Structure 1
Amino acid sequence: MKKLQVRNSILLLITATIWGCAFVAQSVGMDYVGPFTFTAIRSLIGSVFLVPCIWMLGKFKNTEKQVEKTSVETQKDRKELLVGGILCGIVICVASNLQQFGIMYASVGKSGFLTALYIILVPVLGIFIGRKPGKKICLAVFLAVIGLYLLCMKSGMLKIEFGDILLLLGALTFSIHIMVVDHFTQKTDGVKLSCIQFLVCGMLSAIVMFLFEKPSWTDIFTAWAPILYAGILSCGVAYTLQIVGQKGMNPTIASLIMSLESVVSAIAGWIILGQVLSAGEIAGCIIMFAAIILAQLPEKS
């Protein structure tokens, strides 16, 4: 049992690392293609990559009950999966493109930390569906506000930059996406749901891409490395590892490990792109990460 916990923890740590480094890929990709183009192609690649993953994961379901449920899938189940995939795809399309535009104006490290706010925003949004947060969550939100001030405000001025607003809106939308996914994964297969959502996200982004951008195959092929990383590793591999790694894990521990993507993004931006944060921004990152950890700690009964 302990070996399984260690293995799953390692898988989730790999997931966080892939997602953290994905911010670098997204930032580099903007040097060659537009944000809608990047999101459209990475999402479609991720959807295609998950098709064989669905087949392979199906092979691991050895019990007769699971096989029977898979082979005799009711029309209601298929409808639930389709509706969930479309809704999740629409939400993640908005979230991904907001994040992609935000990365154009902010450093990789700041983008990672602002995006990680979804971990705190999820319980806050829970208030609207009758889930009142405790004192711990309120304290976490307060700390996050302080961290945001240090991270976003320049020279002590009460001014948030345009990129920060986009990333914050992206974090809010990712929070909504998490709640929608949480609802539908209780009734449908998570990997199939992800495959459909990436397909919907890619198609919607492609429509906007042709309306507002001028994609060229030359630019796309030039940006093949960051696009493939974001599509295969971030969308495909990391999501599959998350599904496998979370099985049998304490949700609090799992969320805490995956929230390390914000730390990885800052380190990756510094090592790979040379994006150095100021002392105030580093302090803001530390405070925000402390808020993220605090939000994941269990409440005392």
Structure 2
Amino acid sequence: MGQVYFILILTTFFWGGSFLFTKIGLREIPPPLFVLMRFSLAAMIMLFVSGRRLKNFNRQILWRGAAVGVTLGLTNISFVFGVQGTSISRAGILNNLFVLFIPFIVKIVWGDRIGRINLAGIILASVGIWLLATGGSEGFNRGDLISTFCALMIACQVVAVSKLLRDDDVYLVSLVQFATASLMAGCITLLLPLPHVTLHRSALLSVAYCALFPTVFCFTLQNAYQRYVTATRAGLIYTLDPVWSLVAGFFILGERLSAREWLGCGIIFIAVVIPLGVRYLMERRLVKRYVETEDGVPGVT
């Protein structure tokens, strides 16, 4: 289990880096084209890696991979527009709201209770968003709004991975996901007017990084290892994403937040971590009771 946690934490590091490299790449590449290039390259890499596995391809893999791929496409398309319109520090924190959206999705689709602790987290997060909106020079801008929508899409993607994927070949599932996201970005690129694009090395390296590490590497590992932990524990680990984006924004891009913005970011982070922490402790207590019952020692009721 320790290996599972280490790998999931490692994915957050590379996902955090995607904020930085996406911001750099978007200086020259329009958002939908960036997603198209990223996931087309990722799909080609995955096709090469999983070439011998194609004989095991079936309708179930196609259906499940495409279903998760739609959420992946919506996540990354909204992600690039959000990062383009705001700082990566603010985008990283707002993306982290996905943890609070997960209970609502589960409630709507499966009828599970939201719980008072989740509602308290949402109220607290609202306070943090208000501080962000009133603390910056531009207030709660368009990029912030899109980044919040991206958080909803991330929640859908996390739930989809947990609920839809079973014992499918993770390489083939990832291949279908990347191809689906690439197809969605390609359609948007064709619909929107495309300005003249001049690609320099920094932009191409940004696409290569985002295709290889946060996409091929991380999503394949997520598909392979997230199934061994609960959604709560996975969500708790994924809250590390904005930590890396804040560090990159501060030290590399020179982003500076006002005291009010830092307070808002801190409150949003706390609003996310507290519900996760409470659910994590509840899960551990339930596991302990189960183990005690299995060993013949009555659990506390």
Q: TM-score range with shorter-chain normalisation?
A: 0.7 to 0.9
Aligned residue number for residue 124 of structure 1 = 104
d(CA) in 1 for partners of 2:164 and 2:196? 37
> RMSD of the TM alignment (CA)?
2.7
AA matched with 2:40: L
- Among 118, 127, 143, which residue is 1:146 paired with? 127
d(CA) in 1 for partners of 2:60 and 2:264? 41
CA-CA distance at 1:151 after TM superposition: 2.0
CA distance change for structure 1 residues 251 and 168 in 2, over 3 Å: closer, same or farther? closer
CA distance change for structure 1 residues 280 and 256 in 2, over 3 Å: closer, same or farther? same
CA distance change for structure 1 residues 191 and 230 in 2, over 3 Å: closer, same or farther? same
Number of residues paired by the alignment? Answer: 280
d(CA) in 1 for partners of 2:74 and 2:233? 28
CA-CA distance at 1:270 after TM superposition: 0.8
- Among 168, 171, 174, which residue is 2:151 paired with? 171
1:1-301 matches, within 5 Å, as 5=2, 7-54=3-50, 78-129=58-109, 130-154=111-135, 160-186=140-166, 188-214=168-194, 218-219=198-199, 223-246=203-226, 248-249=228-229, 252-297=232-277, 298=279, 299=282
d(CA) in 1 for partners of 2:159 and 2:260? 32
Would you say the 8 A contact 2:135–2:261 is kept in 1? no
CA-CA distance at 1:156 after TM superposition: 10
Would you say the 8 A contact 1:33–1:215 is kept in 2? no
AA matched with 2:130: Y
Q: Secondary structure at the match of 1:104?
A: helix
d(CA) in 2 for partners of 1:37 and 1:213? 11
d(CA) in 2 for partners of 1:20 and 1:79? 34
d(CA) in 2 for partners of 1:237 and 1:139? 35
AA matched with 1:35: P
CA distance change for structure 1 residues 154 and 287 in 2, over 3 Å: closer, same or farther? closer
Query: Which region of structure 1 is more displaced relative to structure 2, 264-273 or 181-190?
Result: 181-190
Would you say the 8 A contact 2:161–2:223 is kept in 1? no
CA distance change for structure 1 residues 176 and 13 in 2, over 3 Å: closer, same or farther? closer
d(CA) in 1 for partners of 2:200 and 2:230? 41
d(CA) in 1 for partners of 2:143 and 2:26? 14
Unaligned 5+ segments in structure 1 are: 59-69
d(CA) in 2 for partners of 1:51 and 1:205? 19
Q: Secondary structure at the match of 2:60?
A: helix
CA-CA distance at 1:87 after TM superposition: 2.6
Unaligned 5+ segments in structure 2 are: 287-301
AA matched with 1:146: V
CA-CA distance at 1:251 after TM superposition: 5.0
CA distance change for structure 1 residues 197 and 240 in 2, over 3 Å: closer, same or farther? closer
Would you say the 8 A contact 1:33–1:220 is kept in 2? no
Would you say the 8 A contact 1:23–1:108 is kept in 2? yes
Q: Which has the higher contact order (CA 8 A, sep 6+)?
A: 1
Would you say the 8 A contact 2:39–2:182 is kept in 1? yes
CA distance change for structure 1 residues 220 and 177 in 2, over 3 Å: closer, same or farther? farther
Percent identity, aligned pairs only, is 23
CA distance change for structure 1 residues 267 and 279 in 2, over 3 Å: closer, same or farther? same
CA-CA distance at 1:224 after TM superposition: 0.8
AA matched with 1:266: L
CA-CA distance at 1:271 after TM superposition: 1.0
Give the alignment's TM-score, normalised by structure 2: 0.82
CA-CA distance at 1:213 after TM superposition: 3.9
